[in-house]
Chains A and B, each alone.
Chain A
Amino acid sequence: MWLKDSSIGRKLVMSITGTFLVLFLLFHGTMNLCLVIDDIFGTTAYNWICSMLGANWYAIIGTLIIALAVVVHFAYAIVLTIQNRRARGNDRYAVEARQEGVDWASKNMLALGIIVLGFIVLHLYNFWFKMQFAELTGIHTSMFDPHDGSTIVKALFTDGWCGIVYCLLYIVWLCALWFHLSHGVWSALQTMGLSNTKWLARIKVIGTVVATLTVGLFMVVILYFLGVNIGQMCA
């Protein structure tokens, strides 16, 4: 099967799963903005979206597809990196200079990905476990109502010093994700063959914009709750 046996095939799988995850994150980030809007205007948009994404069959299928994409992306990342280290050989250069135009992120994609993955696990524990998982199994995983996502999120990030620590952890996560995507997005387009002399510079700009937009959506929410929390602590 060429998606497994050829280098371009393997890269195509990386790029398609990666792009899919980016699209998911864009949706997720947009949905999160409702948290801020709800908090300011007293609306309940976030919980309304959550109610559609709870224990419904389509939400479960969606979750499984996303999980599959993460697993495939991760598995291929490991295989690719091992193959590439082997191709490089055991003899390393004594002197290795930096090349101009080669960004740091592109050389550390696996490390960045592992940081991102580590936080995904934390994040699933923080929220998914208390929301969709609790709804599905009926087990009380927290003191909150699993349907009240908005309160669960707010409680975590505005819980005094603990909230500040969580905000900082999430900011570290988002930074790692930004670096991963700053290379990942344009690299995915290039892998799919969507580049030429005119478009190479353009897809690099598109990559930076998409990375910043994706991370920015989440960052706004974190910074908002950080502000609210600090405000409460000072009051």
Chain B
Amino acid sequence: MDSYIDIKVRVWRQAGPKAQGHFETYELKHVFQGASFLEMIDILNEQLISEHKDPIAFDHDCREGICGMCSMYVNGHPHGPDSAITTCQLHMRKFHDGETITVEPWRSRAFPVIKDLMVDRQAYDKIMQAGGFVSVNTGGVPDANAIPIPKPIADEAMDAASCIGCGACAAACKNGSAMLFVAAKVSQLNLLPQGKAEKHQRAKAMLQKMDELGFGNCTNTGACAAECPKQVSLTHIARLNRDFIGAKFCD
């Protein structure tokens, strides 16, 4: 049964990208366990505003697990201790009365902090722009069902496409590598007939962009897949490796 709990929230406060950050601990009383984690932060911000303090800056948008904005490292896990969910899907019933909850921003060199818990994730957009699309000629829209695609392949592509670009993979990675994200975005297109035509080009361009932006080398540690809110599998990384190595041998 959900009840009310008193908690302490230890949050990373950082005034701006260049400022020195620090932890600040706030007491929050009478929090309903049915509240989502972001609602708890909202309540905390109301409290801060009423005390004439600066509210905590954090990213959020859909609050239903599809936009990937709610980047928070909660008690040592991206998106908190529960598995296969985003922070907005995390509920206060995962915490107990009297608990101190530590909330940090993503920490990775390619994701610099903008303010408090907000980080700059444009690096992922840049990787998408490098090759995360299918080039099409203008003209009439072809019928979607004109190209038959076997179900297992469609499923695999769909699993890859479930990636919401949240950045938890790079945030959790001890190597600061974005391989799971890049692998998902390459796979979702490379698996399908529409994307296959450019598969070598795509694998090379997106990987090159990832390396250029300062992400690390993947060592198959697997923290990314363990923390991914969409449970994107490490096997996509193997496909990216295959497509990339294949592309290099075809050069």
Contact = CB atoms under 8 A, between A and B. Distances in A.
Contact of B110 (A83, A87, A107): A87
Contacts of B174: 84, 88, 107
B70 interface: no
In this complex, which of A80, A94, A99, A186 has the most chain B Cβ atoms within 10 angstroms of its Cβ?
A99
A143 interface: no
Given A109-B219, A187-B220, A87 B234 contact: no
Interface stretch (B1-9, B52-60, B128-136, B209-217): B209-217
B241 A192 contact: yes
B175 A6 contact: no
A195 B233 CA distance: 11
Contact of B109 (A6, A86, A97, A196): A86
B147 to A, nearest CB: 22
Which size class do B's interface residues fall under? 35 or more
Contacts of A109: 219
Contacts of B109: 86-89
A40 to B, nearest CB: 41
Nearest to B225: A101
B248 A106 contact: no
Given A94-B102, A99-B226, A193 B218 contact: no
A95 B210 CA distance: 27
Contacts of B86: none
Interface stretch (A9-17, A61-69, A120-128, A131-139): A9-17
> Chain B interface secondary structure, helix, strand, loop or mixed?
mixed
A196 B238 contact: yes
Contact of A106 (B177, B208, B222): B222
Nearest to A203: B238
A84 B217 contact: yes
Contacts of A233: none
Nearest to A3: B248
Given A95-B76, A99-B226, A187-B219, A87 B175 contact: yes
Given A87-B175, A95-B104, A101-B222, A197 B235 contact: yes
Interface string A175-201: 000000001001100111111110110
A87 B214 contact: yes
Interface string A70-113: 00000000001001101111011111110111100011010000
A220 interface: no
Given A190-B234, A196-B238, 7 more contacts: A8-B240, A84-B219, A87-B214, A190-B237, A194-B238, A196-B239, A200-B234
- Which are the 3 A-B pairs with shortest beta-carbon distances? A193-B242, A97-B76, A87-B176
11 contacts: A7-B217, A83-B217, A84-B176, A87-B108, A87-B109, A88-B109, A93-B104, A102-B221, A183-B220, A193-B239, A195-B235
